[in-house]
Chain A
Amino acid sequence: MSDSLYRGCSIPARLPFIEAAAKYIIDTLSLDIRDMGELPCCMEPVGLKSLEHDSWLDVSSYICSKAQGRLVTLCDGCTVSLAGSAKEKGSDLDVIGFLEIIHENLGAIKDKVVSPIGMKLAVFPGCHCESIMSSKGKDANSMMADIVKAIGGTPASPAKNLCCGGGVSSIDDDLAKAILNESVESFKATGASAVVTSCPFCFIQFDMVARYRTYSIVELTAKAMGWDADTEKYHRGK
């Protein structure tokens, strides 16, 4: 049975190059993942879920009900939201992020690498990615480090338990800035030239708010595999 790709709304609307990179990886590896098409928001787990539990549960369960095979997400917020509702409903639906798709195909990806990335990168999967992997007994940091090595980069480890601060942005901006700055300083202290993340919200906070050089793990993997799109214009960080 094919797996189902849920694209969410953050990446298609704000960072579409990550969606294009994911499609390149799916096509190049001939992965059996079917696009679920245009669907409503997953009722993201930071704000909308906080407002009304039953609305969140109904909408996210509705999206889950549309999936066949595993439900593959591009955004780790979607993973948390949809996996949470599946668990609460007692469903055995397997909701997995794109980081897991890349990691489980690492052998095939290595064989396809034509442009090794050759950068030292601070590895920061993001809180939601780490949380969902931890619930499955996996370590998102080591998975992402495996991928960075496989595509020709050198992973570096920043401090633990960091966050991009996006969850309190526009609620307590001083707090959000302090949390964001702590992370960026930790990335810089590794001697890396940039940070690599799995989460679109982290990408926006680090790249567009802090103006620190940030890459998506999906983007870098596709690039290493020969994807020739000009993604430089989508970055703000230096």
Chain B
Amino acid sequence: MQDFGADRCLECGSCTDVCPSARHGGIVPDEVVRNYNEGKPTVNVWKCLQCHRCSAECPEGIDVAGLICHLRNEASSRGDIPERFTRSAKQMSKDLRMYPIIGRTASQRANLGLSTGEISDEDKDAVSKMLRGPGFDE
């Protein structure tokens, strides 16, 4: 079990003060930490930007962004995955890259004198076997 240091929370609200999502009605990081400590469910985990400003600001060194990522892992294991990230996982499973090099960028690369190579079979085999669990199973 990862230790995010959530039990050290002083409820000072520093994490929420710096959160760009909270400023616009998204996730509220100090609520997430409080709910986690009280064993309550958290909503809006996918409205976190994973910008890590909360973790950098916390005076107690709580890894708030890491905790939210952990809660996203839990949501994901229940099948609660935004369509955007389902697509990302499919793309990663297919090409082992989030963004494949296709026609337009291939020609931009050629114009810039950049190579367009392939991932080696050894790396493809090794990494393909590492992709498992929610999003990657299909």
Task: Categorize the interface residue count of chain A.
Answer: 35 or more
Interface of B is mostly: loop
Is there contact, CB below 8 Å, between A165 and B112? no
Is there contact, CB below 8 Å, between A50 and B52? no
CB distance from B47 to the nearest CB of A (A): 6
Interface members, chain B 79-105 (any A CB < 8 Å): 81-85, 88-89, 92, 96-102, 105
Could you say which residues of chain A place their CB within 8 Å of the CB of B101? 12-13
Interface members, chain A 116-141 (any B CB < 8 Å): 127-128, 130-131, 134-135
Is there contact, CB below 8 Å, between A40 and B123? yes
User: Complex: how many Å from CA A46 to CA B85?
Assistant: 9
CB distance from B125 to the nearest CB of A (A): 11
B133 CB–A CB distance under 8 Å:
yes
CB distance from B72 to the nearest CB of A (A): 4
Is there contact, CB below 8 Å, between B51 and A171? no
A38 CB–B CB distance under 8 Å:
yes
Seen from chain B, the residues whose Cβ lies within 8 Å of a Cβ on chain A are 18-21, 23-26, 46-53, 55-56, 69-70, 72-73, 76, 81-85, 88-89, 92, 96-102, 105, 108-109, 112-114, 117-120, 123-124, 126-127, 130-136
Seen from chain A, the residues whose Cβ lies within 8 Å of a Cβ on chain B are 9-10, 12-14, 16-17, 19-20, 23, 37-41, 43-55, 58-59, 62, 80, 127-128, 130-131, 134-135, 160-163, 165-172, 175, 178-179, 182, 229, 234
27 A-B interface contacts by CB (under 8 A): A12-B101, A13-B97, A13-B102, A16-B114, A19-B114, A20-B112, A20-B113, A38-B120, A41-B98, A47-B85, A48-B89, A48-B135, A51-B73, A51-B135, A52-B133, A55-B132, A62-B126, A127-B49, A128-B51, A131-B53, A135-B56, A165-B49, A168-B49, A175-B24, A179-B23, A179-B24, A182-B24
